[in-house]
Amino acid sequence: MALYGFDAFSPAQIAEKIEQVGVSKARLPLLQMVLLGMLAGAFISLGALYFVLVVSDDTLGFAASRVLGGVVFSLGLLLVVVAGAELFTGNNLLMMAWADGRISSYALLRNWLVVCAANFAGAAGMALLVWLSGHPAMNDGRVAVLVVTLAGAKCAAPLAALFWKGVLCNILVCMAVWMAMAGRSVTDKFIAVVFPISAFVAAGFEHSIANMYLIPLAMLLQDSVPPALVSPALGVTGLLRNLAAVIAGNILGGSVLVALVYHLIYRRGLPPPAE
């Protein structure tokens, strides 16, 4: 591929790369897909852990708390992009390869279902490890309180709000992945990832994989905080309710409003990239 601008790939070249990567992801052996999916769930959980630690500091102002929390949350996607992992929300970009006829509907859905389930296993497993470590007791227990209150609000939120926050979240997540594809160095990818990810976190949008960590962790912690702080909605039903709405929103935001839009702009009617 020819160089573009500041040694970065052009938008049209990114679209070609995304399509090629989508084909490779859809063809991953099952074991590799599962293990990489579990890593991604754990990585996003580490970003969420970092976010809660920062936001639990009551001395920060609202904007500073949200923005700084969003910046440190970016750790999760940076680990996915640089270290390598399979993240369901980012994999919504496989829709480009599907729209060009390079992967089947079965291959697309197989990837999404396997990776989403593996992300949940990795995120819930990280929640268990964090609970066992005693980390939520930090800052005089404010970390645990914040996890429980955040998760309770997520479980009790109106479904429509969860859905549209999921849409907005994954537009930004997929744009972060898209722009990271333009870069050639770790520094390039860092800059590409931090701003979109910190924006969605600061704005309070909903990321399904982060919720797969926060809500199970809150369920483990609910007996360690004052009962008045525990939402009645917190529980398995609240978790499933949240994930159903947020996953649907994430899919619309990432696969339709990013992947299909860019397919129509850059790939429609063109021959497929060389294998």
pLDDT of amino acid 275: 56
234-265 pLDDT, tens digit each:
999 999 999 999 999 999 999 999 999 999 99
Q: What is the pLDDT of residue 2?
A: 46
**Domain 11-267 belongs to what topology?**
Glycerol uptake facilitator protein (1.20.1080)
Instruction: Give the pLDDT of residue 8.
Output: 80
What pLDDT is recorded for position 267?
Answer: 85
- Cβ(76)–Cβ(46) below 8 Å: yes
**Which CA distances in Å does 6 have to 10, 183, 233?**
10, 9, 50
Please give the pLDDT value at position 272: 63
Closest CA to 228 of 148, 162, 163, 135: 148
pTM of the complete model? 0.94
| Number of neighbouring beta carbons within 10 Å of residue 114 | 18
pLDDT for position 81: 96
**Confidence (pLDDT) at 54:** 97
For the chain, residues with pLDDT lower than 70 are 1-6, 269-275
- Domain boundaries defined on the chain: 11-267
Q: How much of the chain, in percent, has pLDDT values that exceed 70?
A: 95
**pLDDT tens column, 20-30:** 999 999 999 99
> What letter does residue 4 receive in the DSSP assignment?
B
Q: What is the pLDDT of residue 7?
A: 75
76: closest CA among 118, 35, 43? 43
Going from the C-alpha of 144 to that of each of 63, 151, 170, the distances in angstroms are 22, 11, 27
What digits encode the pLDDT tens for the residues 34-70? Answer: 999 999 999 999 999 999 999 999 999 999 999 999 9
